[in-house]
């Protein structure tokens, strides 16, 4: 998995390429935690995400809770159909700004 961080104004975008699985969740979580320490506005570009497992969802839910508690935002963009289906099946599409 590769994560590229860019900053535009007060927002940080993390572009993720690869699978968000149990094996990559820790790396993804570390990158997301570092970004949330810098700003309250995070954008996750999922264009390169081919797979999303429950471990990746846990990281996302934790970050979402952190940001909401600080009146921040977490947005997901370029989510492909297969990954979007994971959000829909779990009901998390109602919680995240996709």
Instruction: Indicate yes or no: pTM above 0.75.
Output: yes
Instruction: Determine the Cα–Cα distance for residues 3 and 26; give it in Å rounded to an integer.
Output: 12
Instruction: Determine the Cα–Cα distance for residues 54 and 32; give it in Å rounded to an integer.
Output: 16
Instruction: Determine the Cα–Cα distance for residues 45 and 48; give it in Å rounded to an integer.
Output: 8
Going by pLDDT thresholds of 50, 70 and 90, the confidence category of residue 63 is very high
What pLDDT sits at residue 76?
97
* Residue 31 · residue 1 · CB < 8 Å: no
| CATH code, 2-94 | 3.30.750.24
> Which structure tokens are listed for 56?
């990746």
Q: CA distances (Å), 8 to each of 40, 46, 69, 71, in order?
A: 13, 17, 23, 19
CA 42 to chain centre: 8
What pLDDT sits at residue 23?
94
């Amino acid at each position: 998995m590769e994560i590229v961080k860019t900053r535009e104004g007060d927002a940080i975008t993390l572009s993720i390429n690869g699978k968000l699985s149990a094996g990559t969740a820790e790396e993804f979580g570390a990158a997301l935690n570092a970004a949330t320490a810098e700003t309250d506005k995070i954008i996750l570009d999922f264009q390169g995400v081919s797979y999303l497992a429950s471990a990746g969802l846990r990281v996302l839910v934790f970050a979402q809770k952190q940001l909401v508690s600080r009146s921040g935002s977490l947005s997901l963009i370029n989510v492909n159909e297969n990954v979007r289906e994971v959000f829909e099946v779990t009901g998390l599409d109602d919680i995240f700004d996709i």
